Structure 1
Amino acid sequence: MGLIVFVLFLCLAFSLLLSKVKSGRGANWAKLFRIASVVVSISIFTYWFIKKSAVGVVNEAVGLQVINILPQTLDFYVININDADNNGILDVKHIGKIRPEHYRIEYLKMDQSDEYWITGYLGKKNLVYFSQHSVPNKNIDQIVEVQNYINQSVKLSDKAKKQVEAYNYENIKLGIWVTLDFLLLFLNLVLLLKRNRLSKKG
């Protein structure tokens, strides 16, 4: 998605420059490109937000229920160990903040994996929980009750922490580009609608 967002940024920025082309042989082509950029951008972002909002159930997924028994709200991440190429690729997902005596459900695609890790943060960087879980039977959903502040492996938790930091950094970068895209999209829409109103009045 990061590459698509960047390409949309370039198209919308170029569309904004083309708004200066108001006459001549290239005016119609410029307007057509601007309209196409706006329509495509709106379509892609609409699809993306609907997909992000939908429940993350996938075929042949293992349901994971994380229950927070601790007296404090923790921010949880699940890290799926993908061993398809024996490279130990770590796929990070943000489960979210779970209050005491509450739970969250996540769905893990385990067709190329049989292990996942769970990390819990108190605040942004204070890792206070780490557990390692195997999935011997992928037809049975997983339930993890977080009852203690534990770290089952300092070595693996350090690796997990780096992956979570990289995941959050990429999300921050993506958020900045999406914000810039929305700003350019808004400016392009305003200029297109303003131009159409002036054309109708003329």
Structure 2
Amino acid sequence: MVFIILVIFWACVLSLILYKVKSGKVAKWAKLFRILTVVFSISIFAYWFIKKSAVAFVDNSVGLQVVNKLPQPLDFYLIKVNKVDAKTILEPKHIGKIRPEYYRIEYLKMDKSDEYWIAGYLGKKNLVYFTQHSVPNKNIDQIVEVQNYINQSAKLSDAAKKHIDAYNYENTKLGIWITLDFLLLFLNLVLLLRKKK
């Protein structure tokens, strides 16, 4: 997705430059390029947002229900521990902020993994909950009730923190690029729809 976002960014920049081409044979091609850029960008973002908004049910997956029984809302992250060619790869995912007595459901593809971790943050940097869970039977869904503040392993929680920080940094970077793309797309759309005086 990062590559497509960069392509959209540079296409929108080029479209803004081509707006200045008003006459000659190149003008028709410039306008066609601008129209295609806007249509392509809107289509890609519409598809991406629909895909992100849809229920993330995965075939042959393990359903995980995280229930917050604590008196405060916590921001939860899931770290799937994948084993690939004798290497351990940690794959973080943001579950979201869960209020007291509420829950979230995630569907985990566990074909390369039989373990996951759950980390809960109070605020942005304060890790107050960390547990390690194994999946002995991949046909049975899991329920994790968060009932107290606990850190099962300081060493593993430090590794989880590093991966969560990197994950959040990448998401922030992606968010900045998407914001720039939206701004350029809006400018291109306004210039395309603007009527000549």
Separation (CA, whole Å) in 1 of partners of 2:188 and 2:81: 43
Separation (CA, whole Å) in 2 of partners of 1:76 and 1:104: 10
Per the normalisation by structure 2, the TM-score is 0.97
Q: Which SS does the other structure have where 2:84 is aligned?
A: coil
Deviation, structure 1 residue 148: 1.2
* Match in the other structure for 2:9: 9
* Match in the other structure for 2:45: 45
Pair 1:175-2:175 in alignment: yes
Deviation, structure 1 residue 52: 0.5
The one-character-per-residue Cα deviations of 1:19-68 (angstroms, maximum 9, x if unpaired) are: 01111121111111111111110000000000010011111111100011
Deviation, structure 1 residue 100: 1.1
For structure 1, the residue ranges without an aligned partner over 5 or more in a row are none
Which amino acid is the alignment partner of residue 29 of structure 1? W
Per the normalisation by structure 1, the TM-score is 0.95
Q: Which SS does the other structure have where 1:128 is aligned?
A: strand
Matches within 5 A, 1:1-202: 1-194=1-194, 197-198=195-196
Separation (CA, whole Å) in 2 of partners of 1:89 and 1:5: 26
Deviation, structure 1 residue 112: 1.0
The one-character-per-residue Cα deviations of 1:141-175 (angstroms, maximum 9, x if unpaired) are: 01001111111110000000011111111111111
Q: Which SS does the other structure have where 2:22 is aligned?
A: coil
Separation (CA, whole Å) in 1 of partners of 2:130 and 2:17: 50
Deviation, structure 1 residue 86: 2.7
How many percent of aligned residue pairs carry the same amino acid? 74
Which amino acid is the alignment partner of residue 186 of structure 1? F
Deviation, structure 1 residue 84: 2.5
Separation (CA, whole Å) in 2 of partners of 1:2 and 1:85: 27
Larger CA deviation: 79-88 vs 60-69: 79-88
Which amino acid is the alignment partner of residue 39 of structure 1? V
Q: Which SS does the other structure have where 2:90 is aligned?
A: strand
Larger CA deviation: 85-94 vs 56-65: 85-94
For structure 2, the residue ranges without an aligned partner over 5 or more in a row are none
Separation (CA, whole Å) in 2 of partners of 1:85 and 1:38: 43
